[in-house]
Every structure is written in C-alpha cells, then in structure tokens.
Amino acid sequence: MKIKIGFAMGIIALMVAACSSHEQHGSGHPVADLTKLNHPGAKVYQSACMSCHALAAKEEGSVAPPLFGVKDHVIKAYPERAAFIQRVVTWVKAPNPNDVLMPGAVKKFGLMPAQAQLSDADLQAVAEFIYDTDFNKPDWYAAHYQAEHGKKPH
C-alpha cells in the first residue's frame, strides 16, 4: 500500500512538473493522464520494461522496439483483450524463439530475455496496462515525455 501511494505521489509530482512547464494546457487532461498512470501495470512497465521498451522510438542506443510498436504487432495477431493479455504474460515469462511476432526485431536486437522476476499479478497488470492504454493519445504521451526529457516529443 505504501509503495502504491508513493508511486501515485511520484506521478502526481511528475504531472505537476510537466504541466507547469507548459505555457498553457487544455482543461482536464491531467485527470485523464493520472487515471491511466495510476494503473498498477504502469508501475510494472516503468520498473521492468521501460529500460528496453521506451514509449516511443529513440534514435540511438535503443535495445528493443518501442512499446507502441510492440503493442501494434501483438494486437494485430491477438485483437481480443483476453488473448492479447495471455500472449504478453506467456511471452514475458518465457519468450519463445519459435513463436515470434516481431522477427525483424529479433534479428536486430536478439530475443527478449525472460523477465522471470515478475509475479503473475505483475505480469497480468502490465499486460492489461499495455492493452488498455492508448499510447497514441498525444496528451498522455506528450506530458509523460516532457516530464522525462524536459522537452516536447518531435
């Protein structure tokens, strides 16, 4: 519980920092952003996935495809929510070299290492977070990016 609250406070601080650096911002978007980022899976993503899967493509030094690219590939093969979640959970536990959805990425980066440290609840949460979050929503992404990089995405 303590950790959850600490995380929520951290996110609020991030959002405040992001918003205060805008000259203006649309009414109400921080509320929508917070709802998304308060998803328990957002924390798992940030601690276990983000170091490799950035939200958007980084030009240099990337070690894995960005998260929205991953989602795009998985959702095309598994459009149903339950099947998508199952695929991600199974994959993260034990990536199967004989069943890859991103062969180009495997060639470029190598097979993803299993994230065996995650509990089933964490895996479920992060899979739900990826499915349920619209990473193409510029509001959410722009604020997050700005908080992290100090400038707007380009």
The residues binding ligand HEC (CB under 6 A) are 48-49, 51-53, 63-65, 70, 74, 87-88, 91-92, 95, 100-102, 105-106, 109, 111-113, 115, 118, 126
Helix, strand or coil, per DSSP, at residue 96: coil
CA distance 146 to 86: 32
CA-based nearest residue to 18, from 147, 150, 149, 152: 147
> How far is residue 118's CA from residue 61's CA, in Å, rounded to a whole number?
25
CB of 2 to ligand HEC, least distance (A): 23
Smallest distance, ligand HEC to C-beta of residue 30, A: 26
Query: Whole-number minimum distance, CB 117 to ligand HEC, in Å?
Result: 9
Q: Which is nearer to ligand HEC, 34 or 106 (CB)?
A: 106
Largest alpha-carbon pair distance within the chain?
50
Instruction: Residue 112: name the closest of 58, 55, 50, 52 by CA.
Output: 52
CB atoms within 10 A of CB 32: 14
Minimal distance in Å, beta carbon 11 to ligand HEC?
Answer: 18
Nearer to ligand HEC, 13 or 96 (CB): 96
